[in-house]
Structure 1
Amino acid sequence: MKHQYLVISRGKWDENATPKDVQQAIDRFYAWYEGHLESGRMLEGSRLQVAGKVVSGAGITDGPFAEAKELVGGYWFIVAGSLDEAAALAAENPCLAFGLSLEVRPLEPAKALASETSNETPDAWRAQAH
């Protein structure tokens, strides 16, 4: 059975690399990515623009405000039989050699429930559940 995995591209280009080397990696990435889109092993994503807003209960502010190592540059999806398989495919990304890192996360098809442990569950709630 195949599942979908979100791939989040993080970080900045290695400042010691040349723009030419980075561009060549980007060109190889798009050839790699488009080939996997055609085969159905990946689903389309997008680069993210620099501008953004942070929306919270306190209001709306300019953003994003992540540290450079946490910056999200874009996302796409991998279709694979397991998280290990999805990570192995993501590890083939040519841009990894130039400072970027990838976060691969399985998508959760179930609706959120406050009674279930999730990414948003406070630590205090987790301690009470055990």
Structure 2
Amino acid sequence: MPMNDYLVLSRGQWDATTSPQDVQAAIDAFYVWYEQGLAQGRLKPGSRLEQGARIVAQGLVTDGPFAETKEWVGGYWFIVAETLEQAAAIAAENPCLRFGLTLEIRPLDATRAHVTVPTNETPANWR
């Protein structure tokens, strides 16, 4: 079965009832897990995101992001797996999940967009 790339978005904030020392231990364990995954070819590099952002829409540029705290994206990377289920199982090994963060795993679609092919951007009444 061919291998596919899956985008992983790290969302949320640390559990405020957890000690900073426990969270730091999870962060340190994450980097060990991450580096091993890169070396094994199970992960591809990503990055933490800085706090500043701009929202760009038709005729508008403004400060952001404006998502709720639980929806904030703190970083991203990629998982290499055969299926979405396998990618989710790899993501579930992330030590930071114990302390309030959640991970969103999304398959990447390498095909060129076309208005007749439904996507996340397609209005419901067009489908």
Q: Give the TM-score, by structure 1 length.
A: 0.96
Q: How does 1:15-34 map to 2 (within 5 A)?
A: 15-34=16-35
Q: How does 1:50-129 map to 2 (within 5 A)?
A: 50-126=51-127
Give the whole-Å Cα distance in 1 for the aligned partners of 2:85 and 2:7: 13
> Residue 12 of structure 1 aligns with which residue?
13
Deviation at 1:58, TM superposition (A): 3.0
Segments of 5+ residues of structure 1 without an aligned counterpart are none
Q: Where does structure 1 differ by over 3 angstroms across 4 or more consecutive aligned residues?
A: none
Deviation at 1:22, TM superposition (A): 0.2
Q: Percent identity?
A: 57
Deviations 1:68-113 (A, max 9, x none): 0100000000000100000000001000000000000000010111
Work out the number of aligned pairs and report it.
Answer: 126
Comparing 7-16 and 56-65, the one that deviates more? 56-65
Aligned amino acid, residue 12 of structure 2: G
